A and B are shown apart, each in its own frame.
Chain A
Amino acid sequence: MRLSEIAVGCEGIIKHVAGTEKVCRFLYSIGCYPGERITLVSVLAGNYIVRIKDSRFAVDRKIAQIIELGEVTPGADEPDLGCRHRQASRV
């Protein structure tokens, strides 16, 4: 499942990042690499707000689509959000 497809509040383990070498390298350097946990905090103004390690990043849809996640679970760390289901079509 891609990051762009999971519901707000869910978290997943990154399985694979499918971008160009440059984009991958940058994502890796901010902590977004296979094996690391990533939480979708919200979707704001068309951008995906994610939590990676201790920081928040806004990434656009293009990036959210290349981040492939393994097991996706309701986020335990975000008590307020739960794992609400979101229509897949929402941009």
Chain B
Amino acid sequence: MRIALAGNPNCGKTTLYNALTGKTESAGNWSGVTVEKKAAKLKRKYGAFGTEIIIVDLPGAYSITPYTAEEAITRDFILEHRPDVIINIVDGANLERSLFMTTQLLELGIPVVIALNKSDIIQERNDRVDIKRLQAELGCPIISIVATEAQGLRELIAAAVKAAGKPQRRVTPVFGDEAVLERHKFVEQIAARAIVKGDNLRRVWLSDSIDRIIANQWIGLPVFFLVMWAVYAFSIEGLGGFLSDYFNETLFGEVIPSAADNLLSSLEIHPFLRDLILEGVIAGIGAVIGFLPLIMVLFFCLALLEDSGYMARVALVMDRHFKRIGLSGKSIIPMIVGSGCAIPGVMATRTIEDAGERRVTAILTPYVPCGAKLPIIALFATVFFPGASWVAPSMYILAICVIIVGGLLLKKLFLWENTSVFILELPEYKRPSLKYASSQMLRHSKAFIHKAATIILVMNTLVWLMQEYTWLLQPAADQSQSMLGTIGSVLELVLKPLGLRGWQPGAAAITGFVAKENVVSSLAILLSEGSEAVLSTPGGPLAGLFNPVTAYAFLIFNLFTPPCFAAIGAMRGELGAEWLWKGLLFQIGVGYTLAMLVSQIGSLVIYQAPAPGLPAAVGISAALGVFLFIKIKDTAAKRQALNLAAETRS
């Protein structure tokens, strides 16, 4: 039996879905967090009904007549797959508006059960809802629930199962898609008869006062930077960094390697296998897992921030700035989702209805450093900038700058006009739930560990083998003659204008495209040989390859060139093949140029000496400048021609 959950954005659908299925999907309180339908089995504690019950969570929509792509999913799913019963989640705090969609769902001929969510807010506001009357007016059962507290869910499921598959007698008239106003009038009348409004002024007034500071036209942006600075400094250099240091130095630096060494020696296993496990697997994975505390702290903080209602205000503040580069506040939503992982971030661009804006947002979203890039940032920050709290936040600020400049460039390079409008619901502020933040933290750490134990493990084994053996499968006398060494040497030429020396940076960067954490683990494997020091100690083995300026440039290179393959796949899904290539070229160009400029200019300013590869860097910059100049002029000419054509037509 399939039960579909449908309702307005921010009505608590995903919270209910998580409670019913035991999943921990991210449940933002703004539209666009759920862009694809999700399905899972009902938890057994809500009752055994003899058949398997699948709960399907649909993206939120205000209406089932689609406006954006994710709203179309809701309608298409219901019409094509015809679930056995629809649970329509109705937001108690927005009862009248929610009933609009209810009347639409009732017309589909599928039994509907209403879950009246946030019934605690109804009480708090002293609103009175005459449930009996509402049931009679709508002709379907209504169950009061509080999804965040998991109250009333058993009754809800029982009612849904009872209603499933049986025809429901329709008491509401059929309006169809066109008679929108008549439908609204009808809903108004029902609401007037069944709802008595209490007093809601104080709460609302508080929300507005906070908004006047946080979303202020002048201080809104500085407040946002300050908040982000605090979150990242706390997670990467504060508590998270402190715990990570312990993990890296003590646990994975001493305790585990020596224990594993003793164990493997006592088992008298083949030295080849011993080396593979110690130098490949443990060194590699340890270098990544060491950063787990940092990931946990960061996602805990971000979930708290999101749950409080702040992120919708960020979209509001950014709207005017993004409008200047042809985007809108809507583009900020995928980017904030992308700070966790670029894949759902890129997918969230679907909520943007303007095609040009959607494309540009999908190309720019991977610039926001995702969770997987965090270990790279943390590693380089601790090794080359010990004690400095600005490195990690600077990467995020740089990301915002790259997004703004990148957006401007894309607007100049490609021909498009933004026609989208900005309409965003502002949820009331609320005290963030520690329970939700903890569940998000656990979800992200689980995913992180899972990734380390699968894709990173495989990659580490491969990297270790490739740096031990030559292409002829002979043990390499010198690492640089190994398979990885020769690949890295080719890349060394490419990375030379960035002031980078040695084949290891290129080799590590290339493994980063499988998963960005691999940059850290590969460096650990490549540098662990012949060095007892832990990778993340200041002045450790990394200092032989980089100085602080080139380290910072390498960090930029890894963060601002294209994301991992999985995220590139997501980009392909949203952009299509042609724009994917344009997007990737753009990302490579921006990341490479930025790293080059930082390295060369930084070296000249700080060390008063050019970094290696300066002539090549100058040549590349000049060529790039000429290319951009020609391309921008070309686009401007095309735009003018198009405008002229439009004028003559009108």
> A residues touching B (Cβ–Cβ < 8 Å)?
19, 22-23, 25-31, 33-36, 41-42, 44-47, 49, 51-60, 62-63, 77-80
> B residues touching A (Cβ–Cβ < 8 Å)?
62-63, 65, 67, 93-97, 100-101, 180-181, 184-185, 200-201, 204-205, 207-208, 211-212, 215-217, 220, 316-317, 319-320, 323, 328-329, 353, 421-426, 428
A25-B67, A44-B215 as given contacts; A56 in contact with B316, CB under 8 Å? no
Q: Shortest Cβ distance from B641 into chain A, in angstroms?
A: 26
A59→B426 contact, CB < 8 A = no
B215→A45 contact, CB < 8 A = yes
Q: Most chain-B CB neighbours within 10 Å: which of A26, A45, A49, A57? A: A45
Q: Shortest Cβ distance from B168 into chain A, in angstroms?
A: 23
Q: Shortest Cβ distance from A58 into chain B, in angstroms?
A: 5
Known: A29-B62, A31-B100. 9 other contacts (CB 8 A): A25-B67, A33-B181, A35-B184, A54-B94, A58-B319, A58-B423, A59-B422, A60-B319, A79-B201
A30→B62 contact, CB < 8 A = yes
- Distance A36 CA – B188 CA, assembled complex (angstroms): 10
Which label, helix, strand, loop or mixed, suits the secondary structure of the A interface?
A: mixed
Please name the residue on chain A nearest to B185 by beta carbon: A35
Q: Shortest Cβ distance from B310 into chain A, in angstroms?
A: 14
- Distance A88 CA – B207 CA, assembled complex (angstroms): 26
Please name the residue on chain A nearest to B215 by beta carbon: A44
Please name the residue on chain A nearest to B424 by beta carbon: A58
The 5 closest A-B CB pairs, nearest first, are: A29-B63, A60-B422, A29-B62, A46-B320, A44-B215
B316→A26 contact, CB < 8 A = no
Other-chain residue from B205, B319, B425, B428 in contact with A57 (beta carbon distance below 8 A): B425
Measured between beta carbons, the chain A residues less than 8 angstroms from B316 are: 44-45, 47, 58
- Distance A62 CA – B422 CA, assembled complex (angstroms): 8
Other-chain residue from A42, A47, A77 in contact with B422 (beta carbon distance below 8 A): A47
A26-B67, A58-B423, A77-B201 as given contacts; A44 in contact with B180, CB under 8 Å? no
A54→B97 contact, CB < 8 A = yes
Measured between beta carbons, the chain A residues less than 8 angstroms from B328 are: 60
26 contacts between A and B (CB under 8 A): A23-B421, A25-B65, A25-B67, A29-B62, A30-B97, A31-B100, A33-B181, A36-B184, A44-B217, A44-B316, A44-B317, A45-B217, A45-B220, A46-B323, A47-B422, A49-B426, A54-B93, A54-B96, A54-B97, A55-B425, A56-B207, A57-B425, A59-B421, A59-B423, A79-B201, A80-B205
Measured between beta carbons, the chain B residues less than 8 angstroms from A55 are: 93-94, 97, 425-426
Measured between beta carbons, the chain A residues less than 8 angstroms from B200 are: 54
- Distance A20 CA – B215 CA, assembled complex (angstroms): 29
- Distance A34 CA – B184 CA, assembled complex (angstroms): 10
Q: Shortest Cβ distance from B404 into chain A, in angstroms?
A: 16
A33→B97 contact, CB < 8 A = no
- Distance A28 CA – B423 CA, assembled complex (angstroms): 12
Other-chain residue from A25, A58, A79 in contact with B180 (beta carbon distance below 8 A): A25
Q: Shortest Cβ distance from A56 into chain B, in angstroms?
A: 4
Please name the residue on chain A nearest to B65 by beta carbon: A25
Measured between beta carbons, the chain B residues less than 8 angstroms from A42 are: 208, 211-212
- Distance A45 CA – B211 CA, assembled complex (angstroms): 10
Measured between beta carbons, the chain A residues less than 8 angstroms from B428 are: 56
Measured between beta carbons, the chain B residues less than 8 angstroms from A53 are: 94, 96-97
- Distance A54 CA – B220 CA, assembled complex (angstroms): 25
Please name the residue on chain A nearest to B62 by beta carbon: A29
- Distance A28 CA – B422 CA, assembled complex (angstroms): 15
A44-B217, A79-B201 as given contacts; A54 in contact with B100, CB under 8 Å? no
A31→B426 contact, CB < 8 A = no
B100→A29 contact, CB < 8 A = yes
Please name the residue on chain B nearest to A80 by beta carbon: B205
A27→B181 contact, CB < 8 A = no
A62→B421 contact, CB < 8 A = yes
Other-chain residue from B184, B320, B421 in contact with A28 (beta carbon distance below 8 A): B184
- Distance A63 CA – B329 CA, assembled complex (angstroms): 14
